[in-house]
Amino acid sequence: MKTCDVSITGRSLEKYAGPLLVFLVAERKKNTPRCDEPVRKGVDHLHRLGDVKGKADEMTMLYPNQSNLPVKTKARRILLAGFGEYDKTAGLEGMAERFRTAGGTISQQAARVKSREVLVVFPSWVKEHRRYLAGCLVEGMLLGNYRFDKYKKADEGDEKFEGIDTIEIHVDSRAFRHEVAKVSRRCRSVATARNMANEPGNRWTPDDFAQFAVDLAKRSDLHCSVLDKDQIEKLGMGGIIAVNQGSSTQPKLVVLEHNPPSFSKTMVLVGKGVTFDSGGVSLKPAAGMQDMKYDMCGGAAVLSTMQVVAEEKPGLRVVAIVPATDNMAGGAAVKPGDIITHFNGVTSEVINTDAEGRLILADALAYGIDRYQPDWVVDLATLTGAVIVGLGNHRAGLMSNHDGLAELISRVGDICGEKVWRLPLDKEYVDQIDSEVADIKNVGGKSGGSITAAAYLLKFVGQTPWAHLDIAGTAWDYTKKSYIPKGPSGFGVRLLLSLIDSWKQLKLGGKNKS
Ligand code: BES
Ligand code: MN
Ligand code: ZN
């Protein structure tokens, strides 16, 4: 994807002669909509006609040069972007989401008229949190401007539209620059995660994860190490080896570290990097199997997060670990009934080879904790279909052994618009994965599938405060949001970055559930 430049401007709107000038219009129950002065008369007129109400998603494109609407401008088009109600009772979170949504819709409209440049007037009627909310608007625009069409030719006779490349935000103060720069950085990382996920299984392999990390380390202060199959085997990571056994592609354990000059806290991030999940010998049904190229979205999220970590250099150590392999059914593949030994010596009976995510995460978690002695561990994984049954596509499942960490993740998730919902993790669920023949088994029966998957991971984190995010329902194709195009969402990047932002609020100790 091309990069998109975002800048702040205070230039005269009357002189603007570009392709697309955008004003936000907010609904008011018994009144004419809120809008900015330059379009006031026009909006009043259209409101009287009943055409403009300011509802969210209501998009009105005006062509000022060809109309006698009372709007003074040289712009080729004016978009009146409906905002919905500017209602403080929605709270800052609700308001932030409305601005992101408006931003996403503006990008969709720009694409419809193939406008590569957009000037958006940030509304003067927004009185509080102006800088933050302008950031949310930009966030929505940038995230909604994402496209992945590198393998697709343009329709004949049609010029290929490659997205907006210049966004200008019209505001009264230069102070917005930092916020906009921060948001742009973060949206670039979300795009990076989406790009990785969009590559199919034959074009995004464990080696590509490794290459990405090596390249990122080269152009930053991050330290990268990649363990190959021999090293993974020597370290006793029986889970990764087992999942990889049926494949002709070598596994990798990719590690990226941000080491500040001095630090007192360490956060380890682990992401499931299954570059294609066929299910292995416990083969998945054919219908929809192509979507299992997305089974690496957790890995994509944690490595892409490191791109921003490298730029922003937070004051704690952050380590991202991605166990990467595909899950195939070759002749040497692991079989139901096989018993494997994990990094920490725990033995496991493989009941179903399609429950492979927990096998590779178990090794990566135990390794990360042993090697880095972290204060907090967070893993992200497209781990279970069951989480989609339970929570649908609007919240990720959160399971944790630490209330403080779980609460903070829930809070930052609500704020950044990547929402989670905590599920329990009591001992009874953990008992479901007891095996007759080994320490544990990799499935715990039909009921509580997301929780028993988390219970498996719990065996590998010891007392370290840990949170597991099951992103199977949110990692792709939750298309209800204007700023999340169809395909991979990049879920987790913004959440992890918000969590890192607030790491100082993270208290150790506290009451542990489970
Ligand atoms: N990658 C899948 C989970 C998944 C399913 C993600 C659908 C997104 C959409 C995972 O490896 C898997 O196959 N899980 C099994 C576990 C079962 C065999 C215990 C599942 O959820 O069916
Ligand atoms: Mn699977
Ligand atoms: Zn999987």
**pLDDT digit string (tens) for 137-185?**
999 999 999 999 999 988 888 888 999 999 999 998 888 999 999 999 9
Lowest-pLDDT choice from 195-199, 434-438, 504-508: 504-508
Residue 396 has pLDDT above 70, yes or no: yes
- Ligand 3 centroid vs 19 CA: distance in angstroms? 45
CA distances for 11 relative to 70, 119, 174, 309, 369, angstroms:
21, 10, 12, 34, 53
pLDDT for residue 285 is more than 80: yes
The CA-atom distances, in angstroms, between 310 and each of 111, 159, 213, 316, 361 are 32, 37, 12, 12, 24
DSSP assignment of 135-164: HHHHHHHHHHT----TT-PPPTT-PPP---
Hey, whose CA ends up nearest to atom 17 of ligand 1? 355
Which has the closest alpha carbon to 454: 494, 493, 427? 427
* CATH code of the domain made up of 189-505: 3.40.630.10
The pTM of this model reads 0.97
Task: Using CA atoms of 125, 21, 484, 494 in order, give the dihedral in degrees to the nearest 10.
Answer: -60
Q: Do the beta carbons of residue 427 and residue 514 sit within 8 Å?
A: yes
Answer yes or no: 313 catalytic: no
Contact (Cβ atoms closer than 8 angstroms) between residue 462 and residue 162: no
Residue 385 Cβ inside 6 Å of ligand 1? The answer reads yes
Grouping H, G, I as helix, E, B as strand and the rest as coil, residue 507 is coil
CA–CA dist 213, 231 (Å, integer): 18
Rounded Cα distance between 406 and 400, Å, is 6
In the chain, where are the structural domains located? 5-170, 189-505
pLDDT for residue 66: 77
Ligand 1, atom 22, residue with closest C-alpha: 385
pLDDT tens-place string over residues 17-53: 999 999 999 999 889 999 999 999 999 999 999 999 9
Running DSSP on this structure, what letter comes out for residue 199? Answer: S
pLDDT in tens, 461-489: 999 999 999 999 999 987 679 999 999 99
Whole-number Cα distances in Å, 22 to 18, 78, 83: 11, 6, 12
User: Cβ distance 122 to 169 under 8 Å?
Assistant: yes
CA of 329 to the centre of ligand 2 (A): 12
User: Of residues 284, 335, 411, 513, which has the active-site annotation?
Assistant: 284
Q: What is the pLDDT of residue 185?
A: 97
Question: 255: which strand partners?
Answer: 225, 321
Per-residue confidence (pLDDT) for residue 172, from 0 to 100: 87
CA dist 510 and 72 (Å) reads 60
Residues 295/274, Cβ–Cβ less than 8 Å: yes
Give the residue, by CA position, lying nearest to ligand 1 atom 8.
Answer: 472
Ligand 1 center from residue 450 Cα (angstroms):
9
Alpha helices in 417-492 (DSSP H): 427-431, 449-458
**123 phi/psi in degrees, rounded to 5:** -60, 135
What pLDDT, on a 0 to 100 scale, did the predictor assign at position 434? 98
pLDDT at 160: 86
Report d(CA 455, CA 379) in Å as an integer.
Answer: 13
359 lines ligand 1 (CB under 6 A): no
Tokens 């592609």 belong to: 249
Tell me the average pLDDT across 434-443: 98
Check if 336 has its Cβ closer than 6 Å to any atom of ligand 1: no
Q: Is 508 exposed, middle or buried (0-12, 13-18, 19+ CB in 10 A)?
A: exposed
Residues, Cβ < 5 Å to ion ligand 2: 277, 354, 356
Looking at residue 359, what is its pLDDT? 99
Token pair recorded at residue 123: 């509304």
Give percent of the chain above pLDDT 70. Answer: 98
CA of 420 to the centre of ligand 3 (A): 20
Specify the pLDDT at position 338.
99
For residue 274, the CA-to-ligand 3 centroid distance in Å is 6
In ligand 1, which atom is closest to the CA atom of 384?
Answer: 21
- Please tell me the CATH superfamily of domain 5-170, with its number: Leucine Aminopeptidase, subunit E, domain 1 (3.40.220.10)
Burial class (CB in 10 A: 0-12, 13-18, 19+), 171: buried
Look at residues 200, 199, 214, 274 and name the one whose alpha carbon lies nearest to residue 244.
274
Catalytic residue chosen out of the listed positions 358, 441, 459, 494: 358
CA distance 107 to 148: 15
Q: Is 358 a catalytic residue?
A: yes
Q: Residues 207-245: pLDDT tens digits? A: 999 999 999 999 999 999 999 999 999 999 999 999 999
* Residue 343 pLDDT exceeds 90: yes
Distance, in Å, from the CA atom of 183 to the CA atom of 138, rounded to the nearest integer, reads 7
pLDDT tens profile 81-120: 999 999 888 899 999 999 999 999 999 999 999 999 999 9
pLDDT at 196 over 80: yes
Q: How far, in Å, CA of 330 to CA of 473, rounded?
A: 28
pLDDT of residue 251: 99
Q: What is the DSSP track for 6-74?
A: EEEE---TTT--SS-EEEEEEE-TTSPPB--GGGHHHHHHHHHHTS----TT-EEEE-GGGS--S----
* Closest ligand relative to 325 C-alpha: 3
Quick check: 7 and 181 in contact, CB under 8 A?
no
Mean pLDDT (the chain, rounded)? 96
Q: Is pLDDT at 512 greater than 60 in this prediction? A: no
Report the alpha-carbon distance of residue 184 to residue 109 in Å, rounded. 20
User: Which of 58-72, 241-255, 369-383 comes out lowest in average pLDDT?
Assistant: 58-72
With 0-12 / 13-18 / 19 or more C-beta atoms within 10 angstroms meaning exposed / middle / buried, residue 49 is: exposed
